[in-house]
Amino acid sequence: MLQDMESTEPADVLLGKNPEELTAISVEAGLPRFSGKQLARWLYVTGAARWDEMTNLSKAGRQSLACRYRIGRKEPVGVMRSKDGTAKYLFETEDGHYVETVFIPDGERATVCVSCQVGCKMGCRFCMTGRQGYVASLGVGDILNQIYSLPERERLTNIVFMGQGEPLDNWENVNRATEVLTSGWGLAWSPRRITISTVGVRRGLRRLLEENPCNVAISLHHPLHSGRMELMPAEKAFPISEMVEVLREYDFARRGPRNAEVPKQRRLTFEYIVFDGVNDSRSDAAALVDLLRGLDCRINLIRFHSIPETPLRGVDEKRMVAFRDYLTEHGVFTTIRASRGEDIMAACGLLSTAGREACQEEEYK
C-alpha cells in the first residue's frame, strides 16, 4: 500500500505547497507538468488524505511521490467535548509538538479557531498560551491540517486565527495558509470568512494589511498606553495609539491601502476583554471612543475566563451590557461575544499545551 497519513517518512510534506511548487515536484517525480494542478486539486479541493485516493495519477507516479513526500495530513490524537457543543482537538505537529484547535458550532455558523504556534512570545497577563511561553512556530502544513483534518470540516463557515500563538510572529506561514484557503486552486473561500487576530506586531501589521485580504482583529483590552502595558508587554514595542494611526491609513469599507489597485474589503474588529476595576469604567469607555473615533470598526467585548494565580477578575453581565451600551450610544458598534467551551478550557485565553508535551493524549479521549 502507498504511504498514507500515518506515515512518518519521508520528512517533507505536500500540504501547504502552491501549484507552481507542486508542478516542480511532479516533474521531479517523473509525472507530467499538468500533474501539479491535479495534485493541488486532490490536496485542497477534494481533501485527499491518502495517495490511493489520487486516482487520476498513475500508480507509478504516486509511488514516486510517496518515496519523496508525505501528504501531510494527521488526524487529531484526541478530543474534549463541552456541554455547549464546542470541541477541542489535539493535533501533533510535524516536529512532534502539540497544539489545540477549537471547533465552535453556533446554529447555522460553525467556526474553527486555529493555532499558529506552540505557545506564544507575547506574554499577555490574562492568557494561558502566553504563560506557556514560545516553543515553536507551525509550518504551513501544520496550520492547514487543523482545518483539513478537522472531523467537522464540511460544516465550517468561518475560520479564525485566534488559537495558540501570534499570527504576525509566524506571518509567512499564516499568509501562505490563507492563500490556500482563499485561492481558486485551493479551498476558494471568501476572505471575509477568515479572521486573523493580532496583538499588533509593528513589522507585521502593514504586511497583513497590504498582502492579505482577510478580516483583521486587534487584541486591544485597554485604550490607554499605561493600562495596556500592564496587561500586554507587546504594548511597549508598538503602542496602541501608533497602531491605530497605521490602521487609519486603510479604508476597510472599500479597499486596503488607499488608492490601492486591488480591492481588499474586509472587517476591522477590536477585541476587548473586560476586567473588573482595570478597564471597565466610564472613563475607560470614553477613552476607547476617543481612540477609535472615525475608524471604520467594531468592538467585540469578551468575558474574562479566569486562569490560575492572577489578580484579574471578570465583570458581571450587567456591567458588560452597560459598557456595550455606552460604546454603542457614542457611535462605536459593539457586541458581546458569547462564551463557549469554558468547561473544557477551550474558551478565549485558555488554550495551552504547557507541561503536557510528553504525555498530552492522557487528558483527551
CA 121 to chain centre: 16
CA 35 to chain centre: 31
Q: Are 315 and 276 within 8 A, CB to CB?
A: yes
| Helix, strand, or coil (residue 99) | strand
Choice among 100, 166, 235, 271 that is catalytic: 100
Beta partners for 81? Answer: 87
Grid cell of 275 as nine digits: 476586567
* Residue 131 CB partners (closer than 8 Å, separation 6+): 307, 352, 354
- CA 325 – CA 323 distance, rounded (Å): 5
Q: Are 80 and 344 within 8 A, CB to CB?
A: yes
Q: Where are the alpha helices (DSSP H) in the chain?
A: 19-28, 35-40, 59-68, 128-132, 140-148, 171-182, 202-211, 225-231, 240-247, 282-292, 317-329
| Helix, strand, or coil (residue 136) | strand
Annotated catalytic residue 179: no
| Helix, strand, or coil (residue 29) | coil
CA 345-350-353 angle, 5° bins: 85
Q: Which residue has the cell 511532479?
A: 26
Choice among 120, 124, 214, 348 that is catalytic: 348
CA 93-98-104 angle, 5° bins: 100
- Taking Cα atoms as reference points, which of 104, 43, 47 lies closest to residue 69? 43
Helix (H) or strand (E) holding 334: strand 334-336
Annotated catalytic residue 100: yes
Helix (H) or strand (E) holding 92: strand 87-92
Q: Are 53 and 46 within 8 A, CB to CB?
A: yes
CB atoms within 10 A of CB 292: 23
Question: Hey, which residues are catalytic here?
Answer: 100, 348
